[in-house]
Structure 1
Amino acid sequence: MRASKTTINVAPQSSFRNESGKPVLIAGPCSAESEEQMLQTAQLLKKNQDITIFKAGIWKSRTRPNNFEGVGLPGLLWLDMVKKETGLRTACDVANAQQTDEALRQGVDILCISGRATVNPFAVQEIAEALRGTDTPVLVNNPVYPDLRLWVGAFERLEQANLSDLGAIHRGYSGEDHDLYRSHPKWEHMLQLRRELPELPVLCDSSHIAGKRSLLYPVSQRALDLGVDGLLFESHVSPAEALSSQQQQLMPQELELLINALATRVKLSETAELVDQLDILRQQVESLDNELMELLLRRSAVTRQLSTNGLGSSMQPLQANRWQGQLESLLQQTGNNNLAASVVKAIGQPARSASENSLGTSAVA
């Protein structure tokens, strides 16, 4: 269901647009882990003039307990130190009003509402009230599952709290296509948001979608081709030692190479072509799945009609012979494809049994 049309009053000089028109680049570690790690990463990132905002995870929302959940307040102090030492603006995710208050007290420049908070209107409302009366820039991550109304609703709540410096972060959706992406991009949802709120800056969290370094280029390039206003990357001085998301973080020097490749559209490897091909094949599979499901539902309806209007047990030999002939014909069409043959048998044999049983039951009745 399409969300109702909404107008968001975006600040004329939004924090999430470069005056030059170039995409905004935000980078930093998935998690703040130590003062040394934060400073070293920030100082190296500062060398790339295109990176203007340093973002680090202070609180890490985990599905289950007893995992690393961030360092909390010390990380905010390290963020403040990064700002003073490098001049980079700072950003972090918040998921509730308490985290929002603490981030504001420590002078974090930009707050990002986490996807697990976006899915909860009560949490968004509490964050909006905590921000009321400030001019803090706010980026809103898409909810963890694709619901455009929740995403738009978050912006409406923030605007009603008189916040105008707003932007969106598209970071994909959990629970799908884990063989390829960490979070499925579902680009169409990002485009729907842009149609709904055309003046709203939209950034793409390439690292969170990709989940692995090899996919960062194709994901980022696809986002740029779709017209995003900025990109987010996770960067760590030593990704192999990171306490979270090791596979998707780049060393600052590697990130610079990636940014240069995006600027010149020079592909770093054949990964981009592979991902494009996989996307096309995935879309074809989804289309075929939909067609197959529709046919199975129609077939089920016809089978129920047979059960209701059975012609008696005398039809069983004829029915069995017809099913056997159809099954053999379909199996011949599969040739040497063992998987296709197994699918045909899986569908054909139970259907035959069900039809015979329904005719027998009808005859007794």
Structure 2
Amino acid sequence: MEDAGARPHVSVGEEVTLIGAIGIDQAQIEQLEELVAEPGVEKLVPISKPYKLASRQIAHGGESTLEIAGRRIGGGVFATIAGPCTVESREQTLSTARIMQDVGVQFFRGGAYKPRTSPYSFQGLGRDGLKILAEAKAETGLPIVTELMDVRDVEAVAEVADIIQVGARNMQNYPLLTEIGRSGVAALVKRGLSATLEELLMAAEYILKEGNPNVLLCERGIRTYETATRFTLDIAAIPVLKEQTHLPVVVDPSHAAGRRDLVLPLSMAAAAAGADGIIVETHPEPEKAVCDGPQQIRASEFGDYLRQVEAAAALAGRVPAPVAV
């Protein structure tokens, strides 16, 4: 493959090893066809999709199970990512993290950097927010999910985050995606406000091609003509993505709904439709939240909420993610 100018990508399964040839043209494909005669080569399978590494074909037609910081997600395992929209203070963040640990959440989310529509709105605590998230991780053991917005902050965020979140507005920030791929830290890529599912998969491809296999896809609602909710949650995206990719698919019901009372039914719908997890916002006192208070579940009520969502996930054959010891 290397002699033909291709970059090999090895995917080892229990019974079959796939070696993907990345970055080749038609002439190189014809040259690689000679490999079929080599010992140990069963067949040559062309992948017609523009996204090669994200394609379901490269994972033997199955689903990937990712293990991140001792937590599993995908392949029938349902994981919950929960925490406040933004890190506001040490007490607010740590108290929420303790509750999330107690109720069985697998990952703790919190924004140190916040993309806001208005440049005058709260933009996050930045490096100070990362320090608070690191303290929450040290105390509770919960892996951290936090957003990265700027390539200049890759190193600082990578030191704290177990999963780097790519926001909807940065889904097609290709230099940022490339740097996240090179960081080696797992990534959660949110679907853009008006992005197609193929565009979402191509965004994931930017990270995968850098040798980083731990990528989660996130449906968070798309912009339509409807104004009753903040965005329109595309439930159909879950089974469609399951047909096209081996990557785990999670759903963000908080940003889709924009209303606390709709988060539970949207979460249950996503779980029953076969999602591999949810990323949801919660706050000790939502009415006092600096941003997105109306869509955040009260932390003291999160346990009851989560049990109902897990029951819906069980209907789709998903089980809560165990914690590896």
Match of 1:100 in 2: 154
Report the RMSD for the aligned CA atoms in angstroms. 2.3
Match of 2:144 in 1: 90
Task: Answer with 1 or 2: which has the greater Rg.
Answer: 1
Work out the number of aligned pairs and report it: 256
Match of 2:320 in 1: none
Match of 2:174 among 117, 120, 124: 124
Alignment of 1:28 with 2:76, yes or no, is no
Match of 1:221 in 2: 268
Identity %: 27
CA distance in 2, matches of 1:224, 1:217: 10
Pair 1:38–1:113, CA change in 2 (3 A) = same
The answer to whether the Cα contact below 8 Å between 2:180 and 2:187 also exists between their aligned partners in 1 is no
Pair 1:99–1:184, CA change in 2 (3 A) = farther
CA distance in 2, matches of 1:78, 1:262: 29
Q: Return the TM-score normalized by structure 1.
A: 0.65
Match of 2:52 in 1: 6
Match of 2:168 in 1: 115
Larger strand proportion of the pair: 2
CA distance in 2, matches of 1:154, 1:19: 19
CA distance in 1, matches of 2:201, 2:278: 20
Matches within 5 A, 1:163-242: 163-179=212-228, 181-197=229-245, 199-242=246-289
The answer to whether the Cα contact below 8 Å between 2:147 and 2:164 also exists between their aligned partners in 1 is yes
Match of 2:7 in 1: none
CA distance in 2, matches of 1:218, 1:6: 35
Match of 1:269 in 2: none
Alignment of 1:60 with 2:114, yes or no, is yes
CA distance in 1, matches of 2:237, 2:195: 7
Deviation at 1:63, TM superposition (A): 2.0
The one-letter amino acid paired with 1:147 is T
Pair 1:58–1:249, CA change in 2 (3 A) = same
Structure 2 counterpart SS, 1:23: strand
Structure 1 counterpart SS, 2:103: coil
CA distance in 1, matches of 2:128, 2:176: 24
Q: Return the TM-score normalized by structure 2.
A: 0.73
The answer to whether the Cα contact below 8 Å between 2:106 and 2:142 also exists between their aligned partners in 1 is yes
CA distance in 2, matches of 1:89, 1:22: 17
Structure 1 residue runs of 5 or longer lacking an equivalent are: 266-365
Structure 2 counterpart SS, 1:139: strand
Structure 1 counterpart SS, 2:283: coil
Matches within 5 A, 1:336-355: none
Structure 2 residue runs of 5 or longer lacking an equivalent are: 1-47, 313-325
Alignment of 1:156 with 2:205, yes or no, is yes
CA distance in 1, matches of 2:74, 2:270: 20
Structure 2 counterpart SS, 1:233: strand
Match of 1:147 among 166, 179, 196: 196
The answer to whether the Cα contact below 8 Å between 1:17 and 1:201 also exists between their aligned partners in 2 is no
Deviation at 1:264, TM superposition (A): 4.1
The answer to whether the Cα contact below 8 Å between 2:147 and 2:166 also exists between their aligned partners in 1 is yes
Match of 2:3 in 1: none
The one-letter amino acid paired with 1:127 is L
Structure 2 counterpart SS, 1:33: coil
The one-letter amino acid paired with 2:82 is A
Report which structure shows greater RCO (CA 8 Å, sep ≥6).
2
The answer to whether the Cα contact below 8 Å between 2:177 and 2:203 also exists between their aligned partners in 1 is no
The answer to whether the Cα contact below 8 Å between 1:59 and 1:71 also exists between their aligned partners in 2 is yes
Map Cα deviations across residues 319-350 of structure 1 (whole Å, 9 max, x no partner): xxxxxxxxxxxxxxxxxxxxxxxxxxxxxxxx
